[in-house]
A and B are shown apart, each in its own frame.
Chain A
């Protein structure tokens, strides 16, 4: 075979690959974004946002009706009455009326990056994290109120407490902003990227958050002082998810599967257990029952506060997101498995699964 033919053949193959890749849209791998409200479940995954019926797991509709390769959804939708707020990878943030057939109320197009984190709402203000290193504050009528620029992509859900917006930042910081104008009140350096959303406890008026610096801290909301640090004597793994608070205990997990209960006041350990596997997802609280643990390998277990397993199930695929608890269901999102969402009742019985139609 002629050398030129071979070269041409290779180039044609390469061109084919390039063309194929061009038709793929944004190149990013992420996990399904699940959010649940009263009698409604929304799932953001790839080219659609699905509204799922909690009783049977059937999609009532998906948005948009016809997919667009560039419009990819991973951020969980913020549910606000008959509307949802959700951002996509085409750099658009949308308010969608979901009372009937989904209709777009407005689209915020100022951002230059992808939306991966869930938005937060405080009063009439929507606080939206974006990968273009900005936090945007938009009112419910799509007016940009303020912008705060940082050094890294913002990917976690902001926390709004009174007149303060608190955001985790990948540049190792927890940033406190003034909700009115977005000015920085203070920045607390934690020595490692902060991926988990901050957690607020009104009793201690403190923020609790873990970081990739293998540490979990309590920060006073008023003073910004780090009240205590917990690193399990240097044995704590990286912390990727927010904690839960139950019966005066602060419970969180690290990547290695350690689950630790601390006193929020002192940071002293109440108890610890090992979930038995890698754990990127956080803990999900079921009131009066205990907490759900989801391992990366798909093992889902409900533990009571005495660390006794009540039930355990295995779902097909890998779990990276914290399970979502509704008034009667535990929703587990998985990737690379048979289904995208698995719903269990509080007794651990499978209720339904959801897999998008091809």
Chain B
């Protein structure tokens, strides 16, 4: 099912591009960009949702809530959920598009691996995946040579007898750039989550580098192109803060309006009143807030 619906069509498109451009390396680059373009609406939605969440988390009301219920996690969670409801922001808003994209990303990865069949058994399996209208005799096996690389083998550029893993270096650098531009601003956010995100920012490039060093160059090429395309998409949406990567570039003050308008709580609700009293005597406070429920900016 997975193979028929995802991997097989992807593999055939990849093979078609390879036939067209007559170069598997170029085909991987074009195919990765193509998939990134197709999934761009989802990426954009994810970015918007993520931005809305960040705006909310920087709002005075949210911060006050954090401070107020810092010793009562349950109450804090409850209040957070109420706020999400009021603002129409879903905590899963940025995860859902990402989850939809995951099969596409895995399919893309698997199709590249399948196309680089390196054993007779893998070649048999690849031959079976080729649609009848493509002449497998002419396509298979794929010529894995691209620039100095054999895309089916881990890449090393031999310079004076030393194998330099150029693609691995590019993978690490592009992953650093990608994770940094995607990293949400830490101010106002949850410290623990920010710390985890920071640690991921450190560990992801290393992990990707280890993968690129050990696995075939074709996969490393895909990593590089995918990372760079993601950065380009962020840049196209104006979400890239280059000062995070290049410290000599001054960070531009944000002129964009927040994606959501978060009303502050009425003063009376900020007071530390017994909960029971709040619920019984002032039911209108929440209703008032509901009436001025903000809408997501388009």
Contact = CB atoms under 8 A, between A and B. Distances in A.
Given A191-B137, A193-B141, A6 B207 contact: no
A195 B140 CA distance: 11
A267 B77 CA distance: 81
Interface stretch (B37-45, B145-153, B257-265, B285-293): B145-153
A335 B145 CA distance: 30
Interface stretch (B3-11, B26-34, B115-123, B246-254): B115-123
A8 B193 contact: yes
Contacts of B184: 4
Given A5-B193, A7-B94, A155-B120, A27 B141 contact: no
Most buried by A among B53, B153, B211: B153
A3 B141 contact: no
B214 interface: yes
Given A113-B150, A212-B136, A4 B197 contact: yes
Contact of B91 (A1, A27, A280): A1
Contacts of A176: none
Contacts of A30: 119-122
Contacts of B98: 10
A113 to B, nearest CB: 6
What is the predominant secondary structure among interface residues of chain A facing chain B?
Answer: loop
Nearest to A74: B119
B228 interface: no
Interface string A134-156: 00000000000000000111010
B197 to A, nearest CB: 6
Interface residues of B, number: 47
A269 to B, nearest CB: 22
Interface string A48-83: 000000000000000000000000001000000000
Contact of A192 (B50, B137, B144, B194): B137
B153 A155 contact: no
B212 to A, nearest CB: 11
A224 B127 CA distance: 29
Contacts of A151: 143, 145
Contacts of B207: 15, 18-19, 22
Contacts of A92: none
A132 interface: yes
A3 to B, nearest CB: 5
B25 interface: no
A22 B197 contact: no
Given A7-B197, A22-B210, A155 B119 contact: yes
Given A112-B156, A153-B144, 16 more contacts: A3-B94, A5-B190, A7-B94, A11-B197, A11-B204, A15-B200, A18-B208, A18-B211, A31-B121, A116-B118, A116-B120, A131-B118, A133-B150, A151-B145, A153-B141, A155-B119
Interface of A: 1-8, 10-12, 15, 18-19, 21-22, 27-31, 74, 112-114, 116, 131-133, 151-153, 155, 170-171, 191-193, 195, 212-214, 238, 240, 280, 320, 335
21 contacts: A2-B193, A3-B53, A3-B95, A5-B193, A6-B91, A8-B197, A15-B200, A18-B211, A30-B122, A31-B119, A132-B153, A151-B145, A152-B141, A152-B144, A153-B118, A153-B144, A212-B127, A212-B140, A213-B137, A238-B127, A335-B121
